[in-house]
Structure 1
Amino acid sequence: MSVAALRGWTSSHRSFREPSALPGFGITFGFAVSYLSLIVLLPLAVLLARAADLGLDGIWRVATTPRVLAALQVSFFISAAAALVNAVFGSIAAWVLVRYEFPGKRLLDAMIDLPFALPTAVAGIALAALYATNGWIGSLFAPWGIKIAFTPWGILIALIFIGLPFVVRTVQPVLQDLDREVEEASATLGASRAQTVFRVVLPALLPALLTGVALAFARAVGEYGSVIFIAGNMPFVSEIAPLLIVTKLEEFDYAGAAAIATVMLAISFLALLAINGLQAYSRRRLGHA
């Protein structure tokens, strides 16, 4: 081993066991790994073991049936669309809560967290009643033949509702730490408002924004309670993959349910891995800026 390689290994080894406020690297590291294994890895291992009873061919056969493919498409595409919508309007909501003072600000700030506390079934029933053709909002669109509840649009509304707090709560602290003098300096140097937003503010918010989008997307993919009441649950139209899993379980087809869950897990992991990679890239670029 060369001297440079030895120094690099020594540096990384020291940083790996860098002292911290919690004493005992071995104890704390072992506890963290054990806790992660029991809470996350072990259930996932059981899921994969149950799906393995079908074999790769069986999993592929279950996952590629037309009904399952349609449900996966509905779940993932609408979840991605809801996360993107929340990225825009969640950032605007965070900006308003941080940069402006107005009557009722604390009340509005507290209302952002309601989707966290509200049971998902209650949220689904409320949204279905609101956006149905005879509801307060749905009745406004009914004369034009636009139906929101019991369609994919209803799924989108429900996923936006449950995902908004994730974006607001991840962007809000970063905005609070962002010095307004940076924006004033940008304006002093002749930048327009749009240039200040897209070249100064947005790059600073991007890592936190991507974190919020990833959390909102992950929550939306697995959402069940609030969606089934407003989706209509029509196969090939508004049926979500979690509902198919529940249907398989009710039919005592545990292997089939595990196969669909495994496919969802794989797709979600790849999507989140891509988002995390983009987040790491944006942080490195921001650090070099």
Structure 2
Amino acid sequence: MKARPVLPGFGLTMGFTVLYLGILVLLPLSMVLIKSASLGLSGFMETVTEPRAIAAYKISFGTAFAAACVNACFGLLIAWVLTRYQFPGRKLLDSLVDLPFALPTAVAGISLTTLYASNGWIGQFFSFKIAYTPIGIMIALVFIGLPFVIRMVQPVLENMEKEVEEVSAILGASRWKTFRYVIFPEILPALMTGFSLSFARALGEYGSVVFISGNMPFKTEIAPLVIMTKLEQYDYAGATAIATVMLLFTFFILLMINILQWWSGRKYMNG
């Protein structure tokens, strides 16, 4: 006799899941691949390897990776402060973490450009340019990606049993050793997940970057802007070719991060 599942409705929910993934995820992605295939192999390679496109890849991936690294460090620090300390205004600060999620990206881009321009409130105090440089792009990507790390690490820190840390201190471990060998292995999977989400969001970001970047080809032009430029020129096949490269690179990097996350978790469990 076939065993019945404990929770009913598996067939219906599975059907909705497959329908959702098929219509909203797989179908649009497949259309990108099909449209770019209309160029042919030689046309595709010529489009995605043109000097302007390669320069845009370097800017997009370089600034996205740098911003994700900054977010991983400071996101962990902010999550630690919000979960381990009580101070006036903590709840207000905790609610402000989600502001980049709710704020329109164009508003964020204009605000950051105003602040970090050469005559801006913050930019005027620096001897070098921030806005219209890769540094400005990285700042915008840090702004929109920081909440991902905080919201992934914060619940893990809140659910950790403090008794484990107390036992570590009783056994003579220093605060640094307690953090390194007791706390950090627990939060590492969540931290890497936040890093990957921040990195993926930064790669596809357009609204908050287009204002502060200056959009100078070979200097501050990002790959999403190249795609938009080709779309405005009705070069749909060329735009989808660039999008395909971004999609494949993003998928590969996220796959590597997930494998590393799985390996680190397995290593921690084994010993």
Q: TM class, shorter-chain normalised?
A: over 0.9
> How big is the shift at 1:139?
0.6
> How big is the shift at 1:18?
8.5
Matched, 1:40 2:29: no
Structure 2 counterpart of 1:31: 16
> How big is the shift at 1:57?
2.1
Matched, 1:286 2:259: no
The whole-number CA distance in structure 2 between the counterparts of 1:67 and 1:18 is 58
Structure 2 counterpart of 1:94: 79
Structure 1 counterpart of 2:99: 114
Name the TM-score, length of structure 2 as normaliser.
0.96
| Aligned residue-pair number | 270
The whole-number CA distance in structure 2 between the counterparts of 1:239 and 1:173 is 37
Q: Percent identity?
A: 61
> How big is the shift at 1:125?
0.2
1:64-143 matched pairs, under 5 angstroms: 64-141=49-126
The whole-number CA distance in structure 2 between the counterparts of 1:196 and 1:234 is 48
Q: Segments of 4+ in structure 1 off by > 4 A?
A: none
Matched, 1:149 2:140: no
Q: Which amino acid aligns with 1:222?
A: G
2:216 to 218, 221, 234: 234
1:51 to 17, 36, 41: 36
Structure 2 counterpart of 1:19: 5
The whole-number CA distance in structure 2 between the counterparts of 1:217 and 1:199 is 26
1:268-287 matched pairs, under 5 angstroms: 268-287=250-269
The whole-number CA distance in structure 2 between the counterparts of 1:191 and 1:58 is 61
> How big is the shift at 1:193?
1.7
> How big is the shift at 1:288?
2.6
Q: Which amino acid aligns with 1:250?
A: E
Q: Which amino acid aligns with 2:254?
A: L
Q: Which amino acid aligns with 2:124?
A: S
Query: How large is the RMSD of aligned CA atoms in angstroms?
Result: 1.4
Matched, 1:210 2:178: no
> How big is the shift at 1:56?
2.3
Q: What CA deviation, in whole Å up to 9, does each residue of 1:102-125 have, x standing for no partner?
A: 000010000000000000000000
Q: Which moved more, 1:181-190 or 1:85-94?
A: 181-190
Q: What CA deviation, in whole Å up to 9, does each residue of 1:38-76 have, x standing for no partner?
A: 110000011111001012222211111111001011101
> How big is the shift at 1:25?
2.6
The whole-number CA distance in structure 1 between the counterparts of 2:4 and 2:233 is 52
1:222 to 199, 204, 208: 204
Structure 2 counterpart of 1:10: none
Structure 2 counterpart of 1:252: 234
Q: Which amino acid aligns with 1:39?
A: L
C-alpha distance 20-225 of structure 1, shift in aligned 2 (>3 A): farther
The whole-number CA distance in structure 2 between the counterparts of 1:140 and 1:126 is 17
Q: Which amino acid aligns with 1:202?
A: F
Q: Which amino acid aligns with 2:5?
A: P
Q: Which amino acid aligns with 1:88?
A: C
Q: Which amino acid aligns with 1:115?
A: P
Name the TM-score, length of structure 1 as normaliser.
0.91
Q: What CA deviation, in whole Å up to 9, does each residue of 1:70-104 have, x standing for no partner?
A: 10111011101101110000000000000000000
Q: Which amino acid aligns with 2:66?
A: A
C-alpha distance 20-280 of structure 1, shift in aligned 2 (>3 A): farther
The whole-number CA distance in structure 2 between the counterparts of 1:198 and 1:98 is 18
